[in-house]
Structures are given as structure tokens and as C-alpha cells.
A = this chain, B = another copy of it.
Amino acid sequence: MTTTSPTRRERLRTATVSEIKEGARRLLVSGGQQAVSLRAIARDMGMTAPAIYRYFPSLEALVKALADDLMDELAATVTAAGEAAGDDPTAQLGGMARAFRRWSIGHPVEFGLIFGTPNPALGDLSAECDPNDPGSRFGRPYLEAFLRLWERSPWPTPPRELMEARLGPYLEPLRQSQGDLPIEVAYTFLSGWSRLYGLVAMEVFNQLRWAVTEPEALFEVEMAMFLIQLGAAPD
């Protein structure tokens, strides 16, 4: 009636959807993944639990939608940090890596939902080669920075023919996702991304406490070493 597309009903509906997800996230943060219950969300909204089924077909679907939102939030944070880091691709990579760690340790439960133990239902979905896969959606900015850096000044890698032989055929999905990625870039991206993930996940999951008091120092050293290997100036 008023304007073009968003009819009144639709506006109310999306608002309710947002409110549900906000409530879910609040419960997630305050009480962990197990505290997210339809009845609690509905209670906080002054509703009854079955009403939520008008908006989500199941609790699992709600959690999945929330995880998607969190993925977007993280991806936006990371790309913003990359853009704020200037023109040097190594500086961009460093900024994006730091942004990833900062968001993750600042939102440990959300991190666990996205990157931690997959639920059986959520795992089945990620079994397919979804182009909307969390890893893909989120790895793209890193991948682009690696590619820019490679075109500007390639870094030393294992010999190309050796990499082609040993893992060339197995990186096809990655290489084709970005239009014929050089194998050196694909390999270095995967190596760096797995190192970043490992370090951050261990810190968030409290797996370093027994060994390290300040994981940030370890993170900074590791990142510096990696960037130096990519040709960045030390320190």
C-alpha cells in the first residue's frame, strides 16, 4: 500500500525473524549452545514456543540461520579490516588475520558454533560442495589478497611441478572457484588458512592454556614468520 515492495506484513515478519535470532544469540552467548531453546526464546519474546514454527521449520534450522548470520558478520569484519589496511597485500593479510582472531576471541561461543564440532544435521549440509559454504564465503577475501600479492611479487614456494604432481588434481574446487588460481597461491592460502584456524581455534577452545599464558604473543610471532616467508619486511 505505502511504497513498493515491503508490505506491512512482510516488514513485521522480518522484524520478528530478527527478534527471534537476536534472542537465540543472547541465549547462545549467555549459556552456550545447549541453552538455545525454542521455549526460552519464546519466553523472552512474550510468546509461546509453537509460534516460532511460523518462522523456522525447526530449532536446527533456526540455529543454522543464526550460524549463517554470524558467518556474514565475521566475513564483513574481516573484509573491512582488509580494506582498512591500505594497499600492501601483506599488510592486508595481517590485518585480516588479526581481525579474525579478535572477533573469534571476542565471540568464543559464536566461533564454536561456526567453526567447532559440526552437528549431524549441519554436517550433512556442508558435505556438499556448496559455493555458499562458510569456508568459501569467508576465505575469499584472504584468497584475493594472496592473489594480488602473487601478481605483484611472488614468494618462494616448493617447485611448481612437484606441487602439481602431489596435490594439483586435489585442489581443483579451490582453483576453479577463483578462475584458474596458480597452484602456488592455492597451496599457500590453504597452508596459511589452516595455520590461522589452528592457532585461533586452540586459543578459543582453551587448548593452549597449559602451555602459553599469552596466546596473542604466539599469534603475532607466527603471523610475522608467515608474512616474512611471503616476502614482507621483518617486524
Binding site for B on A (CB under 8 A): 31-34, 112-113, 115-120, 123, 126-131, 133-136, 139, 158, 163, 166-167, 169-174, 177, 186-187, 190-191, 194-199, 201-202, 205-214, 217-218, 220-222, 225
Contact = CB atoms under 8 A, between A and B. Distances in A.
Secondary structure at chain A's binding surface: helix, strand, loop or mixed?
Answer: helix
B170 A217 contact: yes
A125 to B, nearest CB: 9
Nearest to A134: B207
A115 B201 CA distance: 9
Q: Which 3 A-B pairs have the closest CB atoms?
A: A198-B198, A116-B117, A112-B117
Given A112-B117, A170-B218, A212 B190 contact: yes
A220 B163 CA distance: 11
A205 B167 contact: no
B119 A117 contact: no
